[in-house]
Amino acid sequence: MTIDLADESLRRRLAENGLALTITEVRDLLSGIVAAPPPASCEPEWLVLIAPEPTPVLRDTLLALHDQMRRDVECDDGLMPHPEEAAERLQALRVELAKRELDGFIIPRVDEHQGEHLPRHAERLNWLTGFTGSAGVAIVLQHRAALFVDSRYSLQAVTEVDGNLFEHHRFSKTAAAAWLAKHAEHEQRIGYDPWLHTPEDVGTLEKAILHKSIQLQPCHKNPLDAVWHNQPCQPLAPAVPHPLSYAGQSGHAKRCTVAADLIKARVDATVLTNPESIAWLLNIRGGDVPYTPLLLAFAILYADASVELFLDKRKLTPAMTHHMGPAVRVSPPQAFEPALEALGQSGASVCLDMTAVPVAVVNRLRTANAHIVSEKNPCALHQAQKNAVERQGMRAAHCRDGIALVRFLCWLEQTLAKSDSVTELAAADKLQAFRREGIHYRGLSFATISATGSNSAIVHYRPTPKTNKPLCPGTLYLVDSGAQYLDGTTDVTRTIAIGNVGMEIRRRFTQVLKGHIALATAIFPLGTTGTQLDILARLALWAEGIDYDHGTGHGVGSYLSVHEGPQHISTLCSDIPLIPGMIVSDEPGYYKAGAYGIRIESLLTVCNVSPAGAERSVLTFEVLTLVPIDRTLIDITLLSQFERMWVDTYHARVRGTLISFLDQESAAWLTRATAPL
């Protein structure tokens, strides 16, 4: 059937459906919808934002128009510049800065919410430099520019970003603030977008450049946006309720709990700019960014447990209004700044997390004479401590995820045994296909790291058609992947031998495994932080003078962000103790540049334990992930009896939990893969 997409035809079909929307309103809605990531399900959930019950003809017309607009946007937004385009974009930005009498500009990879996963319109660093990693910042001066990334992306940055345009630096070696202080001239004006920097960021910059009288100039209109032609629109995905059957606690109960903390701290309100916390607090989810079910919004939580939520009302369905209740007032995004001003003018005391809130929010409140109290996000600890329903949901999600991984690993072994070629991209697609068959699946929780050979040494590698390699005998294959399910979020890494590998690889793999086991089996007193436990995962590597440069563990949300704070396990200092209900990853690794990479990652939940004769409260971990560890890579002679027993016990648990859900071939593979050492 041929669909007529002409405005007159669309107007007629809207009228036939009893809708008073104008063509402009429909196209504006669709522009926002196509700016959001495609939904995980085949059902076009966004239709409800335009027509709750469209006729078949209107439905087909809207779907066709949507598909056409999505193709146009993906072709025209200019992300991932070609080499010649990167130079042109950099020059265009410099011209714009000169017009504004600025000598430089700072471009962090964040949006107004300081999120890890950004909507397409906020991928400014990617658009300018070509860098696709999740953490980085660029500084552009009139005659030189630099890109700064952490250790996970040092190799990736070299391959993605033209070194003739941007110097490459690692944060651990050269701080961005120090570079700016060194290369900017005395009394120059350096611009920054106050919605993309926290007070902590700006304070670090100001301290570094103070001796040269360099002026940091807030730009109320981002100069990069002025030169980004065809910049995508703000995303517009439906806001949906997160049912109590998955959340385990009502939004009302959560609001009262956090509001009680505000009263205890003697503050009148807190400003929430973190969409994960807003989603958790109100039991709502969305689809505005990739990999995490968020709707981009701001909120003010008052000490009386009421909330003012600032978001595009076109995202709301009738079900959402009923779900949130009368204590949650919804206002458009344009009302956020006036609300901050009114809050300050009322003489309110406001709690702000200075490490996460945009400096623009702080400045607006200070200008209005609000009393600001610097405190950590009051939702964060409550959000991190999963309730019984969330913990059970995570177990169920990891069971389904384990089934998908076992089927994938069985398929991989069988396919390679036939001498059929499997590439990194093909393997990632196949794993996603297996996951998609599980109930409650809502998409990946991050872009799959599917890496073989030298690519596996790139910690946060993402395969592309340009870098895509086949899995070849004698190499390692590292797959780090995760999924979003309505009842939980997963993240797992397994390193697989493709054929026979050398003794060095097996030794390194076993050392990584020893660290993984040491952390997973730790028993530690209440009050212990992740920093104190990090050494357990590294000892076997340190013994031979080797290490890895990334953290050992991060928090994980419940059908929320796969990277959730405030807890973490790393060498970086943390004052957040691990408490029952928290979920963390356990992911030591080893990477030999240009050769191979190894990582073993499972998710753990913190739980109480009562050893015989204990004199104080102690905690341990429950392993949530149910995926075999490659036995062929283990050098048994390096394992203690306890470590061998742990591997066998873990594999027996994986086999016993999953085998009844598998087809005959996958069950046979699992039996072999989990045989005792």
- What are the pLDDT digits (tens) for 636-665? 999 999 999 999 999 999 999 999 999 999
Min mean pLDDT across 53-57, 135-139, 292-296, 410-414 is at 53-57
Residue 77 has pLDDT above 60, yes or no: no
Supply the angle between the helices 388-417 and 641-658 in degrees, to the nearest 10.
Answer: 90
- What are the pLDDT digits (tens) for 152-166? 777 788 888 988 999
Nearest one of 462, 488, 458, 487 to 562, comparing CA atoms? 488
- The radius of gyration of the chain's CA atoms, rounded to the nearest angstrom, is 26
The pLDDT of residue 194: 97
Helix, strand, coil share of the chain (percent; to 5): 45, 20, 40
Structure tokens that stand for 333 in this block? 């995004």
**Phi, psi at 493, each rounded to 5°:** -125, 135
Percent of the chain with pLDDT over 90: 77
Helices and strands (H and E) in the chain: how many: 22, 28
- Name, in order, each residue with C-beta under 8 angstroms of 114's C-beta and a sequence gap of 6 or more: 198, 273, 274, 356, 358
Residue whose pair of structure tokens reads 């419940």 in the numeric block: 558
Mean pLDDT of 447-453: 96
Mean pLDDT of 417-422: 88
The pLDDT of residue 3: 56
Min mean pLDDT across 2-6, 93-97, 478-482, 551-555 is at 2-6
**318-355 burial, b if ≥16 CB within 10 A, otherwise e?**
eebeebbeeebebbeeeebeebbbebbeeebbbbbbbe
Residue 481 has pLDDT above 50, yes or no: yes
Residue whose pair of structure tokens reads 């068959």 in the numeric block: 437
β-bridge partners, 441? 485
Cα angle at 123 between 232 and 466, to 5 degrees?
Answer: 105
Residue 347 has pLDDT above 70, yes or no: yes
- Mean pLDDT (the chain, rounded): 93
> For residue 616, how many other CB atoms are within 10 A of its CB?
7
Element (H, E) at 566: strand 564-569
Answer whether CATH 3.10.105.10 is correct for domain 83-227: no
472 band by pLDDT with thresholds 50, 70 and 90: very high
The pLDDT of residue 172: 78
The pLDDT of residue 76: 60
Q: What is the three-state SS of 537-563?
A: HHHHHHCCCCCCCCCCEEECCCCCCCC
The pLDDT of residue 1: 46
Asked if 124 and 105 touch (Cβ cutoff 8 Å), the reply is no
Element (H, E) at 169: strand 167-170
Element (H, E) at 179: helix 176-183
Q: What is the three-state SS of 328-376?
A: EEEECHHHHHHHHHHHHHCCCEEEECCCCCCHHHHHHHHHCCCEEEECC
The pLDDT of residue 55: 87
pTM: 0.93
CATH homologous superfamily of 388-673: Creatinase/methionine aminopeptidase superfamily (3.90.230.10)
Structure tokens that stand for 147 in this block? 């890109």
The CATH number of 240-379 is 3.40.350.10
Asked if 455 and 472 touch (Cβ cutoff 8 Å), the reply is no
The pLDDT of residue 73: 72
Min mean pLDDT across 67-76, 408-417, 532-541 is at 67-76
Evaluate whether 83-227 and 240-379 have a shared fold.
yes
**403-424 burial, b if ≥16 CB within 10 A, otherwise e?**
bbbbbbbbbbeebbeeeeebbb
Q: What's the CA gap between 167 and 311, in Å, rounded?
A: 38
Domain map of the chain by residue range? 7-76, 83-227, 240-379, 388-673
Structure tokens that stand for 309 in this block? 């939520």
Q: Is 281 exposed, middle or buried (0-12, 13-18, 19+ CB in 10 A)?
A: buried
- What are the pLDDT digits (tens) for 591-629? 999 999 999 999 999 999 988 888 889 999 999 999 999
The pLDDT of residue 278: 97
Residue whose pair of structure tokens reads 């700064």 in the numeric block: 148
Question: Of the segments 210-224, 437-451, 604-618, which one has the largest average pLDDT value?
Answer: 437-451
Mean pLDDT of 442-458: 96
Mean pLDDT of 94-115: 95
Mean pLDDT of 442-452: 96
- What are the pLDDT digits (tens) for 40-49? 776 788 888 8
Cα angle at 161 between 157 and 165, to 5 degrees?
Answer: 130
Give the torsion through C-alpha atoms of 396, 397, 399, 403, to 10 deg: 140
**Phi, psi at 601, each rounded to 5°:** -135, 130
β-bridge partners, 379? none
- Name, in order, each residue with C-beta under 8 angstroms of 442's C-beta and a sequence gap of 6 or more: 40, 41, 293, 483, 484, 485, 486, 559
- Name, in order, each residue with C-beta under 8 angstroms of 522's C-beta and a sequence gap of 6 or more: 533, 536, 620, 621
